A and B are shown apart, each in its own frame.
Chain A
Amino acid sequence: MLTYIGRRLALTIPTIFALMFLTFLAVRLVPGDPVEVRTGERGISPERLAQFRHELGLDQPVWKQFADYVSGLAQGDFGISLVTKEPVLKEFLTLFPATLELAFFATVFAVTFGIPFGVVAALRRGGILDHGLMGVALFGYSMPIFWWGLLLILFFSVQLDLTPVSGRIDLLYYFEPVTGFMTIDALISGQEGAFASALSHLVLPAVVLGTIPLAAIARMTRSSMLEVLEEDYVRTARAKGLPPLRVIGLHALRNAMIPVVTVIGLQGGTLLAGAVLTETIFAWPGVGKWLIESIFRRDYPALQGGVLLISSILVLVNLGVDIVNGVINPRVRHGR
């Protein structure tokens, strides 16, 4: 087992190094640098332009900029945002809990609905329910997040007045963040109604962000269930006269869940990518929205630091999934 974990860990290191290089390169491939973005129609004297570039280190050869970046990273220094002059890591850590909270509730939504949808579709294979649910899943999977978010806002917030439009909590409530998770902070604050307000603000963004994972989970649950339902032990269980609910709930579902758990784990990437758009629509102050603003401002350190941090988290999540899989399934562990 230790060898397996060691092997997985060793594979992670080149991945993270490649990420470092790619993010560094990618942000510089976007046309226009931070100085040009700042000057607008006004024009700028060549002397001041040179001075700005020098201050930002942009007059250095790219390899030197990369070497400085890597040596900073080695010391845990992700750089200073060109725009806010705050350390990138500090900004990321301030905003990341909001993204994590949103991703968590989106996953809860996706799992709560995705698994039952998949099970029902499998049990009614070929029937109207199956076609209906899988049609919904396909629709959810191909839905542009931006459009879906606005549609829900217009319908549930504006027309039906059921949910707030955007933000994390009603402006009526104000308390300093303790954990950065609004639901937890609302509870800690002890202010009446704050927790309910935080939850109501989570509904729409969690639904929007959770839609694609829901579709993926529902489809995987269905196909996995169909496979398991054909197995001998299910037939045996039925033949023994066990009640159908017990056969499905206990014998079939538990085994069908193995690939589904992997799919849930792999939704991390979808959630973080989706967060970029979801956070922008719902004015959710997380890292997704922050990255978008950093792109517009060509804030190189924020952009490369932010992307690297998010990607590293994903790499670590995948590593975690691999290790868990190895623990549950010896065939994976032994590379068979």
Chain B
Amino acid sequence: MSRTIRGSVAAVSFAAAVLASTALSAKTLVYCSEGSPENFTPALNTTGTSLDAARPVFNQLVEFERGTTKVVPGLAEKWDISDDGKVITFHLRKGVKFHSGINNFKPTRDFNADDVLFSFNRQGDPKHPYHKVSGGAYDYYNDMEMPKLIQKLEKVDDYTIRMTLSEPNAPFIANLAMDLGTIHSAEYADFLMKQGKPEQFDQIPVGTGPFQFVAYQKDAVIRFKAFPQYWGGKAKIDDLVYAITPDATARYAKLKKGECQVMFGPNPADLAKMKEDKDINLLSQPGLNIAYVAFNVQKKPFDDKHVRQAYIMAIDKAAIIRDVYQGAGQAAKNLIPPTIWSYNDKVKDYGYDPEKARQLLKEAGVQTPLDIDLWYMPVQRPYNPNAKRIAEMMQADLAKVGLNAKLVTYEWGEYRKRLQQGEHITGQLGWTGDNGDPDNFFFLLGCSAARAGGQNLSKWCDKNFDDRLVKAKQIPNVAERTKLYEEMQTIAHDEAPQMTIAHSVVFEPIRKEVTGYKVSPLGRHDFYGVEVK
């Protein structure tokens, strides 16, 4: 028998011994989740399913306040930012306990700066002993450009960490609240390395979070129990169980029967019934996302903003929201959703006006009928339930003003690549936010993303807009940043490099006996602070 197998058998036997007596207590919350986690180390994952499964166990230095995108202290009690915005000093919380592992790990010390160093160096340092463990792809860490941003990471003392950035970066703190900033136990990592089982680090999670990991039965159930010594106070529920139920109708049936108390992703067709169900509270909130049509401003006649405006006015957006989103969408007038700070509610959407559209096209000297294209995604996305249907409705609307849109699509990977190369004239795509910072959306219209292959699909580079974008990213003052982002929304509206379609509305059905549950604009499912009556 190999050492790994022997180790696993020992771990399983130990877990069995510990758990033989485990019975679910009265205060149990069962969450009907949608799929199986890939592992329990958030830094390795990008899917909501896997991240949701690990979150109960962990904390970050700074965290998103539950139900908002506001960044609040986590394992760092406070932080100072130097005047030049490049040095951030974190003062760590004292007396924070780590969980014991179900594989015999017993922590001998509290959380300290070594754990912070371990958690970031594993991702950023290719020579770190854990860097290659479990495949070692740290997508978010790289995508958020952390290797470029973090120039130096130092332990000042056991409870102080200093990060030096290569350039001032206001959204950086929000980046740290993302799952890539999850803090692990360096002592646990050493313990497993000495036993020759480093891969267990990502399968049996040990953290400082409100719930400790109990067991994962592959593809079936994940069990957690409240951690009594949690620094924020013990959770109000004793046991947290994820019942993995891939089918939305089966999840709803389980919720109705009380086999689970909170469920993931309802079927749009079930929403009306859920609203009437006396046992269920249907919570909702606009998602942190946007569906849009990008106009390629490098192609005629879309280099003229009047043509772009005419296109927008030709489309009956309300009909799309009604027929395609079926109540699960909110018409978008800005790139950012209203749940993000700096949302400019004063911006007035163009409205459906085919007559004016025709007039604008005429004034711009466009000869109609004009052949254009309209690309649509071959797949469903969180922000867009049916891109093809939207494209068909738009095609019909555009025809009425003399724009003959040819519908185009490709295989999903190919589709994104070609859009980013700017091969389209007009094309649909969207975005789901990561950290609730406005920059995380507005960069999509920045000049640096307008290069071929960049994410600015309009290939639009406006100095007025971009100067503000760059400036807002560098100043830490929220009020000043807010002003700049508000102005940018006005510019984007007037110049119309894209037509914003909708923010999808996220629905979360929970049973009436559940209190304190908050819908996360970030699409998370957090159970600390939740109670079952």
Query: Which residues of A are interface residues toward B (Cβ below 8 A)?
Result: 31-33, 36-44, 46, 48, 52, 55, 82-85, 91, 94-95, 150, 153-154, 157-158, 161, 164-168, 171-172, 174-177, 280-283, 285-286, 289-290, 292-293
Contact = CB atoms under 8 A, between A and B. Distances in A.
A143 B257 CA distance: 26
B199 A85 contact: yes
A41 B432 contact: yes
B38 interface: yes
B3 interface: no
Given A165-B259, A176-B15, A31 B411 contact: yes
Contact of B24 (A167, A172, A293): A172
A88 to B, nearest CB: 13
Nearest to A84: B38
B35 to A, nearest CB: 6
B39 A85 contact: yes
Nearest to B14: A176
B455 A91 contact: no
B32 to A, nearest CB: 9
Given A85-B135, A94-B218, A157 B244 contact: no
Interface in B143-167: 143
B244 A285 contact: yes
B171 interface: no
A293 B36 contact: yes
Interface stretch (B248-256, B300-308, B352-360): B248-256
Contacts of A285: 217-220, 244
Interface string B178-216: 000000000000000000000100100000000000010
B412 A158 contact: no
A174 B257 contact: no
B413 A166 contact: no
User: 10 shortest A-B CB distances, which residue pairs?
Assistant: A36-B413, A285-B219, A176-B16, A285-B220, A31-B411, A283-B245, A165-B253, A165-B254, A83-B38, A85-B134
17 contacts: A31-B413, A42-B143, A46-B453, A82-B135, A84-B38, A85-B134, A153-B253, A165-B250, A165-B259, A167-B245, A171-B24, A171-B243, A174-B23, A175-B19, A176-B16, A283-B245, A283-B250
A154 B253 contact: yes
B467 to A, nearest CB: 24
Interface in B228-254: 241, 243-247, 249-250, 253-254
Nearest to A190: B20
B10 interface: no
Contacts of B139: 38-39
Contact of B247 (A52, A154, A283, A293): A283
Nearest to B39: A84
Contacts of B254: 165-166
Contacts of A44: 143
A40 B46 contact: yes
B49 to A, nearest CB: 10
A7 B269 CA distance: 56
A290 B24 CA distance: 27
A192 to B, nearest CB: 11
A52 B253 contact: no
A94 B250 CA distance: 24
Interface string B243-283: 11111011001101101000000000000000000000000
B135 A33 contact: no
Interface residues on B, range: 35 or more
Nearest to A178: B16
Given A32-B412, A43-B420, A43-B455, A283 B15 contact: no
B12 interface: yes
B408 to A, nearest CB: 16
A158 B259 CA distance: 11
Contacts of A164: 257, 259
Contacts of A286: 219
Interface string B4-44: 00000000110110011011100010100001101100000
B137 interface: yes
B220 A283 contact: yes
A221 B318 CA distance: 59
A165 B199 contact: no
B23 A172 contact: yes
A32 B24 contact: no
Contacts of A95: 218-219
Contacts of B455: 41-43
B524 interface: no
Contact of A150 (B142, B250, B454): B250
Contacts of A281: 247, 249-250
Contacts of B430: 41
Contact of B20 (A37, A167, A175, A290): A175
Given A36-B412, A165-B254, A171-B24, A153 B218 contact: no
A166 B39 contact: no
B223 interface: yes
Contacts of B23: 172, 174
A171 B217 CA distance: 11
A290 B246 CA distance: 11
A94 B217 CA distance: 10
- Select the residue from B22, B30, B38 with max chain A CB neighbours within 10 A: B38
B215 A174 contact: yes
B259 A280 contact: no
Interface string B493-517: 0000000000000000000000000
A157 B12 contact: no
